[in-house]
Amino acid sequence: MSERQETFFTRLSLKNLRIGIKLNLLVYILLIVSFVVISIFGFSILNNHLKRSTAKELEQLTFHKKLLLEDEYDEVLSEIKTLFSDEMISNVSELKSGYFNYSSDKWSMFDADSLAKFRKLLSNYYLDEFIGKINWSKPELEEIFPERDQEIAMQYTYLFKNKWPAGEKEKLVLLEDGSSYDLYHSFIQSNFRDFKRIHGINNIYLVDGASGDVFYNLNKNIAFATNLYSGKFKSSEISKTFQEALAATDTEARFFYSDFSFFLPEYNKPMAYIALPLILYNEKVAVAVIELGSEFFENILFDEWLVQHWEGASINLIDNDNKFKLNELQQYAEPEKYAQTLIKKGIRNKTLSQAAKIGGGANIIGFKESSDQKKFELKTGTTAFNHEILYVNLPLQIKGFDYQVLGYSTVNYHKNLLRTAKSKILLVYIVLLVLATFT
């Protein structure tokens, strides 16, 4: 080291500094030390406060949604029984008679040439309007195509000739074709459409107990006129639920339930069922099966505020395997981004690939609990997207479904809050350092 450099560093020694500079250095050191100490304790306190605050908010949200869903669900069950009054059941009985008399009323449709024509047209309809629109577990035509003449004629009339597009077939109310079925269909269809619009159900099926024929369904999907004893969908959950309701020996009608399962006539989307025997003068006229999609519960639980703030607070229903029964709020808030994430991650993940092809994660996507549930007041978990979540869950008391209400938020949301707090505190200390320097 040269003599000049040695002299320079010697002058920089603490002994040679003026008292003002020494005081400034002391202030800087105190500020830095206090910043470190306060930051460590402050961020720890803030982090715990955020978790307590989050726990309280999620508990309040979850409890509120739990009560709301239980009340709304009970009301819908009550309204279902009101819908199937004695007058309605009497009309259902007449509709059933019209169904079995359809070949007599419309005898010209049941000759060999007409049926052959209908089969060809209907097969094209199945290929284009149904199979062509299924993205997951696509069936072969022969696996689902109707075999009986009654099915062919009824589906040709109410599906193929129905001018409304798929998803809107229910808008066909009256054909004015002179059949007794058409007459009673118009009355029942109008009433059931109103019920669907008000209560958010997906479909209503009417099934004859003696034959097993689905002699009516609201949406006019390909289960219409099929047989639940021997037909293409005899192994479905709707068939099992119908048969349970039919076998009941109760003198008064009660409900039977089936949890979500994938139903081919609904484009392989998950559906749940509530079945009710229709009893008139101690005679079981038919079984009504109410079909629920995930939208039924979503319409009750989701609101605009939640959709806009899904990172801060989300809500869902889960079963005992922690599988989401509803689509995620992110799907509503960021539909394009959500779809892209499903497709991207689904390349190597069978579960997410299925969700991408069906168009949503309901009854497919779930989350895993943390192995250490005692570490925090909130429970922690990881979603199928590898998102860390903080959550609380409460048991849900709704008949027929063993669910829990789940309130959760993403860990990233809390990390962002902490990051923002750190930035603000750092800014305050920079200002203090500047003030200390120039005062």
**Least confidently predicted of 1-10, 140-149, 379-388:** 1-10
pLDDT of the residue at 439: 58
Q: Is the per-residue pLDDT at 129 higher than 70? A: yes
Tokens (6 digits) for 413: 């949301």
Tokens (6 digits) for 93: 């009985």
Q: Is the per-residue pLDDT at 18 higher than 70? A: no
168-224 pLDDT, tens digit each: 999 999 999 999 999 999 999 999 999 999 999 999 999 999 999 999 999 999 999
Q: Is the per-residue pLDDT at 139 higher than 50? A: yes
Tokens (6 digits) for 205: 């099926």
227-276 pLDDT, tens digit each: 999 999 999 999 999 999 999 988 788 999 999 999 999 999 999 999 99
DSSP secondary-structure letter at 158? I
**Least confidently predicted of 120-134, 244-258, 311-325, 416-430:** 416-430
Contacts of 123-130 with C-beta under 8 Å, sequence gap 24+, read: 125/159, 125/160, 126/222, 129/166, 130/166, 130/222, 130/267
Contact 295, 167 (CB under 8 A): no
List, in sequence order, every residue forming a beta bridge with 403; answer none if it has no partner: none
State whether residue 362 is helix, strand or coil.
coil
Q: Is the per-residue pLDDT at 373 higher than 80? A: no
Q: How confident is the model at residue 14 (pLDDT cuts 50, 70, 90)?
A: low
pLDDT of the residue at 150: 96
Rounded-to-10 torsion of CA 67, 303, 368, 44: -90
pLDDT of the residue at 250: 82
pLDDT of the residue at 6: 54
Q: Specify which of 52-56, 168-172, 320-324 reaches the highest per-range mean pLDDT.
A: 168-172
Query: Who has greater pLDDT, 79 or 390?
Result: 79
Residue 255 C-alpha from the chain's centroid: 23
Closest CA relative to residue 188, chosen from 200, 170, 161, 163: 170
Q: Which domains can be identified in the chain, with CATH numbers?
A: 83-296 (3.30.450.20)
pLDDT of the residue at 8: 46
267-279 pLDDT, tens digit each: 999 999 999 999 9
Q: Measured between alpha carbons, how far is 298 from 184 in angstroms, rounded to an integer?
A: 33
pLDDT of the residue at 45: 59
Return the percentage of the chain with pLDDT > 90, whole number. Answer: 65
State whether residue 165 is helix, strand or coil.
coil
Model pTM?
A: 0.85
Mean residue pLDDT across the chain: 87
